[in-house]
Structures are given as structure tokens and as C-alpha cells.
Amino acid sequence: GSTAAGIEYTAGKGYSLNIFSTQKAESVSRLDLNGMGHIFDPAIEGDRVALCSQDKEGNSLIVLNTSTGKTEKVIPPTHLENFRSPLFHGEYLFYVSDYTGIDNIYALDLRTGKRFQVTSVMHGAYYPFVPHGTDRIIYNEYTLTGYKSVSIKINPGSWIPFERLKKPADPFVEAIASQ
């Protein structure tokens, strides 16, 4: 695209979002993100920026409209999963989550709020990317011998609805609860 986004961490533990023109290779705007927790992994598409956030309430995914300054926690704070590598693609926001105990790629339908597990790998799926003009998602799958590149067709009909996923029990919580 014609823009890129980066997070700036200041000495006073503040955060700002820098929007860069990729043609001019310079910052074209800066937005203050203080009060939104620890912000990382920005992804930009047009006037939307997806941000991963961690704060005392939990981990969340935020979409910021750079034209209006409005923010929305599209996945509200939770302590049950961590978010990374968001990526806009049409009506979906892809991201990496460890919800089931293994890092996989998930999709959030931005129109309905429904969530889906896109990949189901044994050791981890990372860094989703959709090449412009394609219907494929490329990602790195971690295996016993290292990372391998994988390309799959974007097929929402094959994705697992989030409500059907089972969060593995935390053995420490289970041990304390049984006492």
C-alpha cells in the first residue's frame, strides 16, 4: 500500500502511532496512543489500523480509524489469549492467537464480530500475509525442523467457529482448585 504504520515508544513510557508515506519514506501523521495499554504490531489498511494491546484488563485487539480518531476494541480484553500479527483482508481481520494452547491463525469477521480458527497446526502458525489480488493466505508454520512457508486458499467455509473451540485446562489452576 501507500502507507505503513509504526509504534513509537517514548522515554516517558508513552506510545504514539506513526503513519508513513511509503512513496516519500516520511512520517505523514502521528497519533497519541497513551492510555491504551502496551501497544504493538500495527497493521494498516486505508484509514484503519489494527493494534494489539496489553493492559491490566487483559489483551485485546483494537481497530483505530485514523480519519476520525475513533477506537474500537474489536476483541475485548481477555486473559485467556494473546494476540499478534493482525492483518486486514476485506471484511476479515486475521491475527495470531494462542487460545487453544498452540499459536494458530484466526479471523474476525469485522461485520458480524464472529471469530474463527483458520489454521490448525501442531506447533504454531505465524506471520499471516495475503498477497494483493489473491485468495490465498501465506504464513510460516513452525515444525520440529524449523519454519516452513505454507500457502492455503482463503475458505471461510472450512474455518472452525470460535465457540466450538476448547480452551485447554490450566494444570496449575486445576491443581489449586482441587485442593
Average pLDDT, the chain: 93
Q: How far apart are the first and last CA of the chain?
A: 55
User: Residues with Cβ < 8 Å from 178, sequence gap 6 or more?
Assistant: none
Confidence of residue 177 (pLDDT cuts 50, 70, 90): low
Nearest to 63 by CA among 87, 97, 28, 34: 87
Confidence of residue 173 (pLDDT cuts 50, 70, 90): low
Contacts of 85 (CB under 8 A, 6+ apart): 41, 43, 94, 95, 96, 126, 127, 128
Categorize the per-residue pLDDT at 48 as very low, low, confident or very high, splitting at 50, 70 and 90. very high
pLDDT band, residue 11 (cuts 50/70/90): confident
pLDDT in tens, 64-119: 999 999 999 999 999 999 999 999 999 999 999 999 999 999 999 999 999 999 99
Q: What is the tens place of the pLDDT at every residue in 148-165?
A: 999 999 999 999 999 999
In the block, residue with C-alpha cell 494476540: 83
